[in-house]
Every structure is written in C-alpha cells, then in structure tokens.
C-alpha cells in the first residue's frame, strides 16, 4: 500500500461525441492563446502595432511546432526518418496503417532553436529592431507556455519520472504501472512558473528591458537550469547521450550551451543599453 501516492488514470481527452480533444493538443492551444495576450500587453507598452503582433504569432506557432518536432526526431528518435518518414512532419503515423497521433514527440530544445531562427526572420522582414529586443520580450510568454506543455505531458502520462522507491509519488495507471514515480512533469511546470514570474517582474518593474539581452540571458539561465535539474528525476528518454553509465542525460547536455549563452548575455548586457 502506497500511502503517500495517488493513482493517475485520466481519459485520453475531452470526448465531444464526434471528436475527442486530446489534452496535449488543448494545452498547446491554451499556451498559444495565453502567449498572445501577454505579448499584446507588451506590444501596447512598447507602442508596436497589432499587425506586427499577428505576424509574430504566426512565426511563433510554426517555429515551435516544426522546431519541437524535428528536435525530438533528431535528438531522440532519428530512426523515424527511415521507418516512418512522413510521421516526422505530420500528426499521423503511417506504420501499419494510418493512425492519428496528435502533437506527440516534441522536444523543447528543438522548439528553442526553432524560435531563435524564426525571430531572426521575423525581425528582418517585419519588426526591424535589434534582434535582442524581440528576444527579451518573446521569452516571457514562452516561459508560461512551458507550464501548459508540461501539464499536457502529465495528462498524457508521458515524460514520466523515475520510480521514487518510497510511498511518495504518482502511479501512472495508463502505463499499466502499479508503483509510484516522481511527477517530473509537474516539477518542471512548477519551475517554469517561477521563471515566468521572475521575468514578468524584471520586465514590468525594473529598467532591465533597456539593456538588450539582459532578460533573454536571464531566461536562458533560469529555464534551462530548471530543465537541467528536472532531468535528474526523469525516466531516460533514450537520447543520444542516455545510457546506464552516462554522466548526464541528453536533455542535460543540450541544456548546457543555452545556459552558457545566457551567462554571456547577462554579463555583457550593460554594454547594450538603449534609451
């Protein structure tokens, strides 16, 4: 009997009778909508037009979905390029017939790279400001978006934690398990909430937004440190660096470059003050 655990056995989604809304897909939609409203308040403060915001929204949606999907396949499931190529780009599996899979198999590291590339294109074609100006602002909704994505993982009983070995934890009944694991998804989501609150405070209550790269650098350090720590509690996702004798997980190795870049941006931000 596990007295300090609870059994998690949710349905696949919200059944409308004619269609089931997958929880993970729903969380992505909520994340994008919340992000849009946050950026709307930021653009209003900065005197930017809503037309530019609408374009930003399109760039962000495409960057996150494409980047996250390619990141997952490249870092964690490269065999899909040979075994089920079209499933890399579509929410369907074509192996043994056509099956709708939804937005599953997405990597935050890939999403981060996708966002960086998309913001360079968006800034060059539409915004036309110093590139760090948009990075300092767009990462605020990105941080809160991570909360919804990880909650979606929890609803799907995926990216689970390691067994706790104690009475404490969550029993993921959907995975046919009878022992408690760390709710690593919720740990990570809680960390992202803290990151979001810190970034929100720095942007609205201090003058750090005038130092290009300061908020972006802070974001990189905080968010990827949360990811780095959360990896200690996660079950291995079988990436390129995962294994029984691995010093760090794939997720941790991929987090280190972002943290180093964040430190550099934070340290040098004082040289990039704007009026």
pLDDT at 240: 53
Residue 143 pLDDT class (50, 70, 90 cuts): very high
Please write the tens of the pLDDT for every residue from 52-90: 999 999 999 888 888 888 877 777 777 777 777 766 676
pLDDT at 3: 59
Residue with structure tokens 């602002």? 137
Joined together, the tokens standing for residue 81 give: 């390029």
| Segment 20-25 mean pLDDT | 78
Please state, rounded to an integer, the average pLDDT across all residues of the chain.
Answer: 86
Does 231 score more than 80 pLDDT?
Answer: yes
Question: DSSP letter string over 49-105?
Answer: -HHHHHHHHHHHHHHHHHHHHHHHHHHH-TTHHHHSGGGGTSSEE-TTS-EE--S-S
Helix, strand or coil, per DSSP, at residue 13: strand
| Segment 172-196 mean pLDDT | 93
Q: Which residue has the higher pLDDT, 214 or 175?
A: 214
Please write the tens of the pLDDT for every residue from 194-218: 999 999 999 999 999 999 999 999 9
Joined together, the tokens standing for residue 15 give: 């059944």
The three-state (H, E, C) secondary structure of 219-270, written as one string: HHHHHHHHHHHHHHHECCCCCCCCCCCCCCCHHHHHHHHHHHHHHHHHHHHH
Residue 256 pLDDT class (50, 70, 90 cuts): very high
Residue 239 pLDDT class (50, 70, 90 cuts): low
């Amino acid at each position: 009997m596990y007295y300090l655990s609870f059994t998690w056995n949710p349905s696949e989604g919200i059944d409308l009778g004619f269609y089931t809304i997958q929880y993970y897909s729903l969380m992505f939609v909520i994340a994008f909508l919340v992000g849009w409203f946050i950026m709307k308040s930021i653009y209003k403060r900065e005197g930017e037009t809503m037309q530019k915001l609408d374009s930003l929204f399109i760039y962000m949606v495409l960057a996150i979905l494409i980047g996250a999907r390619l990141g997952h396949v490249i870092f964690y499931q490269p065999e899909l390029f040979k075994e089920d190529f079209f499933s890399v780009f579509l929410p369907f599996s074509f192996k043994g017939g056509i099956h709708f899979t939804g937005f599953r198999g997405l990597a935050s590291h890939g999403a981060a790279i996708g966002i960086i590339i998309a913001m360079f294109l968006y800034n060059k074609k539409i915004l036309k400001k110093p590139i760090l100006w948009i990075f300092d602002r767009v990462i605020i909704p990105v941080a809160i978006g991570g909360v919804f994505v990880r909650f979606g993982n929890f609803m799907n009983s995926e990216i689970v934690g390691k067994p706790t070995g104690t009475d404490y934890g969550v029993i993921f009944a959907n995975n046919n398990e009878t022992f408690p694991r760390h709710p690593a998804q919720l740990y990570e989501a809680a960390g992202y909430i803290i990151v979001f609150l810190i970034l929100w405070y720095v942007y609205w209550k201090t003058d750090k937004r005038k130092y290009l790269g300061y908020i972006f650098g802070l974001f990189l350090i905080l968010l990827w440190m949360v990811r780095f720590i959360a990896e200690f509690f996660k079950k291995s996702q079988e990436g390129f660096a995962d294994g029984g004798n691995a010093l760090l997980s794939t997720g941790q190795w991929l987090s280190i470059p972002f943290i180093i870049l964040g430190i550099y941006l934070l340290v040098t931000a004082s040289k990039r003050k704007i009026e």
